[in-house]
Amino acid sequence: MILVVDVGNTNMTLGVYDGEELKATFRMMTKTPRTSDEYGVMLNTLLNTKGITTQMIEGCIVASVVPDVMHSLTGGIVRYVGVKTLTVGPGLKTGIKIITENPRAIGADRIVDAVAAYEKYGGPVLVIDFGTATTYDLVTAEGHFAAGITAPGIRISSEALWSQAAKLPKIEIKKPKSILAQETITSMQAGLVYGQIGQTEYIIRKVKEESGLPDLKVVATGGLGRLISDETEEIDVYDSALTLDGLRIIYEKNRR
């Protein structure tokens, strides 16, 4: 079994694979400061709830966009799980060639998503991750990471509304029954959700137009990806495990 860890700005998602089968998943908040001992104890506890012992784990791979947590996290994995970690970054084989102007500036999570989308669905493919930010990344038929678009995520937009406008409350992010809202909460939900749907559809159409790839396959992932993908025909596939699968695929490419 291998442990895969995706460290995002808001949450940390962990998975355990037995071969290609995802046996268990866990989530932790990223922004909570923890020592390596705290990470180690939490990992052991989480694994044990699924009947998995640390002795079953033979390797680990981590993708992170939050450098500050890496020392404690990897230290906890080494000390309590007993395996060294591969970290997604320069020098690791991915099977994807980055041809943007500054390849080192591409986040590890975006590389992982691109690898998974290309390996699972082929290219050309546009992969959309609805996370803290909403990212759109184009991978060509040759497996080249060719372009990326970054937009504020739905939660960032919602937090901006209630933190900057004194009379706007915190709300649950969900699609209201109608866009014709008649009170504050549903009006905010309508603006956030339908606004994201509109943005998504426009960017997809524009990418297809400028890339000259009208039949481009579109794959979505991320916490709120299901909400958006269910509301548009522009997204072909929603894959909740895309990032974890990408980590597993990269681990397999580098295990020797």
Q: How many CB atoms lie within 10 A of CB 213?
A: 17
State which CATH number among 1.10.3470.10, 3.30.420.40, 1.10.10.10, 3.90.230.10 fits the domain covering 97-242: 3.30.420.40
Q: Which of 179, 167, 169, 173 is nearest to 155 (CA)?
A: 173
pLDDT in tens, the chain (256 residues): 999 999 998 899 999 999 999 999 999 999 888 999 999 999 999 999 999 999 999 999 999 999 999 999 999 999 999 999 999 988 899 999 998 888 888 999 999 999 999 999 999 999 999 988 999 999 999 999 999 999 999 989 999 988 888 888 998 999 999 999 999 999 999 999 999 999 999 999 999 999 999 999 999 999 889 999 999 999 999 999 999 999 999 999 998 6
Buried b (16+ CB within 10 A) or exposed e, 119-128: bbbebbbbbb
Amino acid of residue 37: D
Terminus-to-terminus CA distance in the chain, angstroms?
Answer: 15
| 109 counts as catalytic | yes
The catalytic residue among 6, 109, 113, 137 is 109
Q: What is the DSSP string of 55-77?
A: GG--EEEEEES-GGGHHHHHHHI
0.75 exceeded by the pTM? yes
Range list for CATH 3.30.420.40 in the chain: 2-87, 97-242
Question: Domain 2-87 is classified in which CATH homologous superfamily?
Answer: ATPase, nucleotide binding domain (3.30.420.40)
What span, in angstroms and rounded, lies between the C-alpha atoms of 55 and 240? 28
